[in-house]
């Protein structure tokens, strides 16, 4: 029982820390860059993303032995698109302003690399419970990254947080932080911080170029 508990915790924390989908695996960056001008937008996107990811993982794990291997991708897209449609209708009905602010990025959740990747790499190979936990962990990691980026950009760019003024009256907003260059600057600094921390902790993850791990390429260069 203890080993099973550790395994569940490991699955949950994997997406939050070790394989954070945005800062460590560099997936789903379009929405991370575009929707982090305000904390409210980031939270809305994170909540919608997490719901779709968890529910899609559950359904795909339930059907993993039924879906033929040749039609994996079309089936995954149908499942994901169904939950995205539910999110769209709910947001349009109850949070019209947030729905308008997020715009095209809501339907684009259907082809988000994180969701498709977890479906192919995890949900179709594991149980329903493990797949749900994996979805929660990845969703939390994605949402926390968006909230961190949006907090930095909104405070520096507007002097506000969640629309509330928190900087002194004499504060001059850094306008570039609410623009595209500010998004890339914030993203790059956070990625650099993650790399620095993982090297300090000696917890580097195995990244791949094509089908060959980078560390294998490096070892090959060292042996020359």
So where are the chain's domains? 2-223
Tokens representing residue 107 in the block: 């339907």
- Helix, strand, coil content of the chain in percent (nearest 5): 75, 5, 20
pLDDT for 196:
84
- pLDDT band for position 204 (cuts 50, 70, 90): low
Mean pLDDT of 134-147: 94
Please state, in angstroms and rounded to a whole number, the distance separating the CA atoms of residues 99 and 93.
9
Please state, in angstroms and rounded to a whole number, the distance separating the CA atoms of residues 106 and 184.
21
pTM equals: 0.83
pLDDT one-digit tens code per residue, 8-66: 888 888 888 788 899 888 888 888 999 999 999 999 999 999 999 999 999 999 998 88
pLDDT one-digit tens code per residue, 60-105: 999 988 888 888 889 999 999 999 999 999 999 998 998 998 888 9
């Amino acid at each position: 029982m203890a080993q099973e508990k550790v395994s569940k915790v490991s699955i949950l924390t994997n997406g939050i820390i070790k394989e954070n989908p945005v800062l460590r695996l560099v997936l789903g960056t379009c929405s991370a860059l575009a929707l982090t001008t305000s904390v409210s937008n980031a939270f809305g996107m994170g909540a919608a993303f997490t719901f779709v990811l968890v529910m899609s993982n559950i359904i795909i794990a339930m059907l993993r032995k039924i879906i033929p291997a040749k039609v994996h991708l079309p089936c995954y897209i149908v499942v994901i698109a169904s939950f995205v449609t539910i999110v769209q209708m709910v947001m349009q009905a109850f949070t019209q302003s947030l729905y308008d602010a997020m715009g095209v990025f809501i339907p684009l959740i259907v082809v988000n690399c994180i969701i498709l990747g977890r479906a192919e790499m995890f949900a179709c190979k594991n149980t329903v419970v493990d797949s749900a936990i994996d979805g929660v962990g990845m969703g939390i990691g994605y949402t926390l990254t968006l909230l961190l980026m949006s907090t930095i950009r909104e405070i520096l760019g507007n002097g506000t947080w969640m629309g509330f003024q928190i900087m002194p009256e004499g504060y001059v907003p850094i306008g570039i932080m609410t623009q595209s260059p500010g998004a890339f600057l914030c993203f790059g600094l956070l990625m650099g911080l993650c790399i620095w921390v993982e090297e300090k902790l000696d917890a580097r993850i195995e990244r791949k170029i094509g089908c060959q791990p980078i560390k294998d390429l490096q070892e090959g260069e060292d042996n020359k």
